[in-house]
């Protein structure tokens, strides 16, 4: 079964606007990661946030983590056409190396 569920499943916005995607998970985690997948390609790691962190930034990306609600959000500011992709959250539990992925959000940036 999937650990993470992204919301929304699909999102279309105008270039320049901000995009927000949410991820909910079920069990306690060591860390949560976000990945991007361009069509026909493998996933690329974007950012990792640990369970004792509440917010993290990387360039135009901002990730928040609320462990009490078992949820995370990914904000992409000032979106560009090149941001069009699917975005996945993935959770890493304790005591193992396995990473469990959610079902993804398909983001489309309209030029």
Partner 1 sequence: NAGVTQTPKFQVLKTGQSMTLQCAQDMNHEYMSWYRQDPGMGLRLIHYSVGAGITDQGEVPNGYNVSRSTTEDFPLRLLSAAPSQTSVYFCASSSPGTSGSPLHFGNGTRLTVT
Q: How far is the CB of 14 from partner 1 (least distance, A)?
A: 26
- What CA–CA distance (Å, rounded) separates 59 from 31? 20
Sites for partner 1 among residues 43-82 (CB under 8 A): 43-45, 48, 50
For residue 109, state whether it binds partner 1 (rule: CB under 8 A). no
Q: How far is the CB of 64 from partner 1 (least distance, A)?
A: 17
- Among residues 68, 82, 97, 111, which is the contact residue for partner 1, using CB under 8 A? 97
Residues lying near partner 1 in the complex (CB under 8 A) = 1-2, 4, 30-31, 33, 35, 40-45, 48, 50, 88, 90, 92, 97-104
């Amino acid at each position: 079964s999937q650990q993470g569920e992204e919301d929304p499943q699909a999102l279309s916005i105008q270039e320049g606007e901000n995009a927000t995607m949410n991820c909910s998970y079920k069990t306690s985690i060591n860390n949560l990661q976000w990945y991007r997948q361009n069509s026909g390609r493998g996933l690329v790691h974007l950012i990792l946030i640990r369970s004792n962190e509440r917010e993290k930034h990387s360039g135009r990306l901002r990730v928040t983590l609320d462990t009490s609600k078992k949820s995370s959000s990914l904000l992409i500011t000032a979106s560009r056409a090149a941001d069009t992709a699917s975005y996945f959250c993935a959770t890493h539990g304790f005591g193992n190396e396995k990473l469990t992925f959610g079902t993804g959000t398909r983001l489309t940036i309209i030029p």
